[in-house]
């Protein structure tokens, strides 16, 4: 028995749990004569003044919440060096223990629990309070199988105060939202993402993202898409799977609010309840009735009558089996003829029926589960293929075949190509390869061919001279690569002076890097003129304008002026004195001096 009383009121009775932040005790409130649960923060947090202040402020805010799906906070206080919080005592186990004990939960039960949690979150979000650490460990299950969220205020205080303590990540990385893993702003949609993972775990008994260390798991939250829950449990209804995938979307804008999630889960719950209700007209297996024997009937008429009947032999009537009768044979023949006729009609009707057509809906840019549901709702079969595409987030549809708007027969197979994101790799060295070999290697690496520029060179025509990005640059699969290939040595003629002036067209080097643009211009027998820099949202070092314009006809040896993009200098705003958070300013990028670029007159003087 623990002989300890906090603030002269709360008598500690027994320790009922311990976590990373606090120890939990069952206690007796002497003033109100009721059992309570008390969490006492670990000694490690006592030295963090900012955290202690935030903890008290957030806990007092959470004490305003009053909802059947939220564990009530009664009091927050300090006794000596102990900072504690007094909460409603719920004699139950956690949702985590329920999942461990029962494995994948019944689908209807999982939906009901998720709806309870969403109801509690809706009330909290309406009061501008975000939990920040929704996980099965923080969900208490009552005896009547209802869920109550606990640790409101504590989780918020920890998340806002510090991300690490003693080298360890505070919080539950398995249930983090991508914005939490990134260290970004936390919103009510962050709680919805965590609830989506909790529902995923209840349905499959698996976590969507696992790894050897917290950093690996956090990166998976940011970059990877989870395996569809139906892969682990095919019985999950598509409608419910779509809700899970929306709640776990990487983009908070796609996730439903907690209130919308309650409505959607209620619809699923209603649909599942109708399904499991017994149908009075359904075929049922009835118990076999015991038919009394003839002797038992005779015994009921009395022993004397039965004895008398035993003496009278029953006439032996030879009955012909029914299956050998003419009526049975005729009935069977009629049934076979009807079945044969129905089969022929159905077969020819399906072949001749040209009305059963559908228009292929657009699923590009949609999440895999949602795209699958849309196509199946339109009576189409789905084949999923994966592809790398750095421009499309992982898990979203890149393209489809047949394309949107095509009219096809129902039950047609539609292939959707789902992005695997841009897998990081080092740019290989393609210099020296033939153009065809370089393109083949790009395709094998999942890279796309961009522009191909030609340049005079003693190398064999078609040989790759350089490429952008350059060798060793960190790139993503699906990225576009520009090539510069050899055009061979220029033909030298004895007649250097010609009556007619030779002209050529200015190549289009806009959107190319400066080095590639210079090679392309010189490859046309032209010179690079002045190079100026302007602030632009395009990639730094990219040509954003050229003079003369592309395809303009100019004399050989003419100069082409270029305008190159540079990163805009950040605007420094005065730092608010009330903010305690540091402001990080990106280093400004100095403008490249343009003092060593030869002028057109210098080039002509050299030629003379």
Q: Which residues form the catalytic set?
A: 133
* One-letter-per-residue 3-state SS of 239-301: HHHHHHHHHCCCCCCCCCCHHHHHHHHHHHHHHHHHHHCCCCCCCCCCCCCCCCCHHHHHHHC
- DSSP one-letter code for 184: -
| 482 phi/psi in degrees, rounded to 5 | -95, 145
H-type alpha helices, 6-161: 49-62, 95-102, 107-126, 154-161
- From edge to edge, which strands make up the β-sheet containing 559-566? 527-535, 559-566, 543-547
CA distance 190 to 221: 12
CA distance 27 to 6: 10
Q: Which two tokens stand for residue 136?
A: 């099965």
CA distance 165 to 45: 9
Q: Which two tokens stand for residue 215?
A: 């950093």
CA distance 183 to 244: 24
Q: Which residues pair with 24 in a beta bridge?
A: 17, 39
**CA nearest neighbour of 193 among 239, 126, 131, 100:** 131
Query: Does residue 451 come out as left (phi exceeding 0), alpha (psi in the -120 to 50 range) or beta?
Result: beta
């Amino acid at each position: 028995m623990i002989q300890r009383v906090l603030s002269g009121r709360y008598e500690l009775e027994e320790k009922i749990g311990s976590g990373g932040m606090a120890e939990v005790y069952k206690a007796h409130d002497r003033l109100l004569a009721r059992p309570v649960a008390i969490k006492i923060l670990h000694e490690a947090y006592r030295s963090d003044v900012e955290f202690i202040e935030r903890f008290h402020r957030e806990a007092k805010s959470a004490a305003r919440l009053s909802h059947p799906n939220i564990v009530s906070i009664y009091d927050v206080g300090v006794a000596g060096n102990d900072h504690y919080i007094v909460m409603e005592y719920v004699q139950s186990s956690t949702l985590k223990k329920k999942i461990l004990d029962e494995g994948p939960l019944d689908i209807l039960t999982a939906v009901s629990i998720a709806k309870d949690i969403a109801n509690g979150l809706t009330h909290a979000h309406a009061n501008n309070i975000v939990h920040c650490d929704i996980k099965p460990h923080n969900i208490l299950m009552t005896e009547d199988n209802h869920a109550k969220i606990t640790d409101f205020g504590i989780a918020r205080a920890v998340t806002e105060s510090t991300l690490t303590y003693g080298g360890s990540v505070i919080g539950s990385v398995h249930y983090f939202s991508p914005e939490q893993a990134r260290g970004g702003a936390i919103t009510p949609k962050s709680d919805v993402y965590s609830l989506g993972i909790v529902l995923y775990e209840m349905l499959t008994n698996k976590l969507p993202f696992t790894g050897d260390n917290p950093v690996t798991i956090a990166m998976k939250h940011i970059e990877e898409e989870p395996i569809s829950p139906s892969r682990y449990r095919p019985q999950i209804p598509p409608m419910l799977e779509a809700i899970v995938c929306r709640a776990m979307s990487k983009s908070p804008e796609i996730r439903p609010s907690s209130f919308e999630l309650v409505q959607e889960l209620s619809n699923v719950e209603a649909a599942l309840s109708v399904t499991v209700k017994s149908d009075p007209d359904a075929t049922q297996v009835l118990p076999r009735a015991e038919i009394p024997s003839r002797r038992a009937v005779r015994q009921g008429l009395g022993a004397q009558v039965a004895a008398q009947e035993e003496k009278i032999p029953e006439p032996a009537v030879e009955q012909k089996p029914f299956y050998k009768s003419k009526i049975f044979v005729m009935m069977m023949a009629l049934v076979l003829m009807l079945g044969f006729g129905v089969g022929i009609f159905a077969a020819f009707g399906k072949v001749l029926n040209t009305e059963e057509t559908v228009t292929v809906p657009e699923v590009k840019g949609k999440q895999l589960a949602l795209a699958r549901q849309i196509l199946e709702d339109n009576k189409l079969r789905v084949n999923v293929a994966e592809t790398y595409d750095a421009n499309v987030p992982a898990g979203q549809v890149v393209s489809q075949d047949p394309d949107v708007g095509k009219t096809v027969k129902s039950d047609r197979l539609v292939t959707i190509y789902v992005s695997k994101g841009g897998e990081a790799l080092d740019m290989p060295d393609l210099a020296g390869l033939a153009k065809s070999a370089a393109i083949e290697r790009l395709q094998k690496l999942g890279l796309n061919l961009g522009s191909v520029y030609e340049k005079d060179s003693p190398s064999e025509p078609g040989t790759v001279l350089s490429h952008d990005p350059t060798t060793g640059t960190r790139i993503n699969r699906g990225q576009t690569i520009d090539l510069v290939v050899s055009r061979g040595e220029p033909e030298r003629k004895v007649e250097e002076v010609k009556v007619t002036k030779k002209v050529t067209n200015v190549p289009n080097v806009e959107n190319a890097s400066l080095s590639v643009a210079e090679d392309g211009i010189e490859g046309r027998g032209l010179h690079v003129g002045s190079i100026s820099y302007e602030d632009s949202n395009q990639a730094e070092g990219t040509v954003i304008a050229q003079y003369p314009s592309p395809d303009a006809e100019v004399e050989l040896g003419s100069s082409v002026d270029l305008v190159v993009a540079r990163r805009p200098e950040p605007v420094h705003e005065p730092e608010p004195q009330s903010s305690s958070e540091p402001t990080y300013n990106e280093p400004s990028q100095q403008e490249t001096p343009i003092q060593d670029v030869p002028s057109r007159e210098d080039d002509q003087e050299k030629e003379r």
